[in-house]
Structure 1
């Protein structure tokens, strides 16, 4: 799975907004988000626009303006952010996994694609911004990362 820069930047920005929400800091400007996370400002502006259209953030104008979460950080999953900026979690040549069909030796491949999507959902929809921010990840995520080969590249 390739996690795009767009998605990574969106999650990093959302984590900053989650922290601001939990500390009562108020709206955070795009300049602050870009500077604190070392992100390209123009690219980030487009990303927060997507997050706003998805209903995950709200913007406030003015000198003390910026962006804030629309919900509690515990109620926003990483999957919500992924979908807001990059669309569905899993696609196969532009199709949803359950829409794929193959003949012959690949007949059962759609089942594998659906399983891949289900595993992504388990991790991304089951992990909130608040959990990532605190480091208290769901037990299922912690279990996956504690597997002996989890941190090894293949």
Structure 2
């Protein structure tokens, strides 16, 4: 399939336990059969309402059940039931264990940024134009 023949999602958001998006289908495509999967469980309440003002556009709505929320990473797949094509995934991250992972990752990124800054400064000192500027500024 060419990119123009594929469904496109936009405007994705998660608010008050409801994941929403806009699905644009190619001209002449049949109405979508959307399903949301959490592991091997199909989530209830998924809707795809056509936009009366925009042919081929549908507003998707997927309620995220409260019992799905727990520590760790929870993934929900949004897919076309007829083709099995994954259109989107919703990842929900929660818990103290995750907070430690995120902080460790952030510390590592800061250290890498400091390393890159030092390497860039060293590189600039080797370039004649930057050497003259450095001498003028007194650094």
TM-score, length basis structure 1: 0.29
Larger Rg: 2
Compare the two structures and name the one with the higher helix fraction.
1
Which protein has greater RCO, CA pairs closer than 8 Å, 6+ apart?
A: 1
In terms of fraction of residues, the more strand-rich structure is: 2
TM-score by length of 2: 0.31
